[in-house]
Amino acid sequence: MSKIKVKSLDAAKGVLIKDGNTGTYKGELFRCIKSTVKHSWSGWLLLIPFFFLMIFLLWKPLIMGIYWSFFEMKGYVVGEFCGLKNYITVMSDTAFLQTLGNCIKYVIWSLIIGYMIPVVLSIVFNELVHLNKFITFSIYFPSLVPGMAVALLWYYVFFPNMTGLLNQMLSIFNIAPKTWLQNSDWTIMLIVLTATWEGFGKTTLFYMANLQSINQELFEAAMLDGAGILHRVKYVTMPYLYPTMLLFFVNQCKGLFCMFEKPWVMTGGGPNGASMTLALKSYYYAFNDFRVGESLAVGVITFVILLTLTFVYKYIEKRNSYEL
């Protein structure tokens, strides 16, 4: 994809230079833009409201959030410029490193628990001849349940006494009830499990759609060459899934890094900060303590970390597209 883009750009450049008999390169560029707008101006006109929408709903809050994070905030009233004070306050908080570490733990647990499940399931389901539609619906079903409801549902599954579903099941085997979410060593892992249950169906469907677009002749050719199922997966399926896997890898890292609703509903960030995330911390700063400056600073820190991750993804994607 990127390769094609590069070629088109070169071609466009060539046209501009060759056709530019009188004007400069800049003049030609302007003429080219003018011509594009003139030929499809109604389309551009329709885009204008959405351009404003994008500015007001996406860019303005983002830019203002970054800008205000350098100011003393009284509620949402901007006070004096305070430089990095909000950042220093947030980062010198003794719980900051724990919270940052928790975010990384969320990501690691999500990669361990949830990353490969959709890939494996999509490959298995893709091989199925019967019950395809039923299985597709069954795995997609949890994704239809609202996130808050999922969190509440699993909160009661993990309830620490005998009213908790898991503890009831354990009691059948005479196993003593566990504290589940209240055990600080388990809490992040269990929250990630909840998020995986909710999201794996949707991801599996993406992978299945990808698999169904693979040319069947490739599989047939591989079989003629004597490739078994594992070799077919390794040499035919995986190379096709790789770009999607990379995309979901980054998406999963980003999504889990700023996990909010599950810990908010299930543990409130506890016990003793063991499941606190940067997003939840930002929420607490803003809405519990009315410390908007600090909340924005946490938001910007999270944004920078995720932006870095996105750049890494773009770099890997670009490198791989050249290799393909």
Partner 1 sequence: MKQKRRTGLCAVLAAVTAVGVMSGCSTQTKKATEDGIVEISIGGWPEQDANVSYARYENWLTRYNELYPNVKVEKDNWSYSYDTFLAKAASNMLPSVYTTFFTEIKKIQSAGYAADITKQVENYHYLENLNEDLISICRNDGKFYTIPKSAYALCLVANKSLFKEIGQVDENGYAILPQTIEELTETAVKIKEKTGKIGFIMPTMQKQGGWIFSNLAWEFGVQFIKQEGDSYAAAFDSQEMRDALQWLYDMKWKHKVLGDNAFVDANEVIKQFGSGNGAMFVGQPTEGKIKTMIHGYQFNKDNLVLGQVPGGPGGRYSLIGGDVWVLNNNLNEEQKNAVFDWINLIGSGPELNDDSLDSIDSYYKDLNQLGSVVGYKGLEIWKSGPICDAYDEARKKYCNVDASNFREYDTFDNTTLRSEEPVHCQDLYDVLDSLVQEVLSNPNVDISSIISNAADNFQRNFLDK
For 81, the enclosing helix (H) or strand (E) is strand 77-81
Helix axes 132-144, 116-127, angle to 10 degrees: 150
- Residue 49 Cβ vs partner 1, minimum distance, rounded to whole Å: 3
- Residue 162 Cβ vs partner 1, minimum distance, rounded to whole Å: 8
Residue among 314, 319, 296 nearest 72 (CA):
296
- Residue 69 Cβ vs partner 1, minimum distance, rounded to whole Å: 16
Separation of alpha carbons 123 and 201, rounded Å: 13
Position among 21, 22, 161, 174 found at the interface with partner 1 (CB under 8 A): 161
Q: How many residues bind partner 1 (CB under 8 A)?
A: 39
**Residue 271 makes contact with partner 1 by CB under 8 A:** yes
Question: Binding pattern to partner 1, positions 25-64, x when CB under 8 A?
Answer: -----------------x--xx-xxx-xx--x--------
Position among 92, 174, 213, 216 found at the interface with partner 1 (CB under 8 A): 92
**Residue 154 makes contact with partner 1 by CB under 8 A:** no
- Alpha carbon separation from 285 to 49, 263, 278 (Å, rounded): 34, 16, 10
Provide the 10 A C-beta neighbour count for residue 8: 10
Separation of alpha carbons 165 and 171, rounded Å: 10
Residues 179-198 close enough to bind partner 1 by CB under 8 A: 179, 181-184
CB-count burial class (<10 Å; 0-12, 13-18, 19+) for 317: middle
| Residues of this chain that bind partner 1 (CB under 8 A) | 42, 45-46, 48-50, 52-53, 56, 74-77, 89, 92-95, 159-161, 177, 179, 181-184, 267-268, 270-273, 286-290, 292
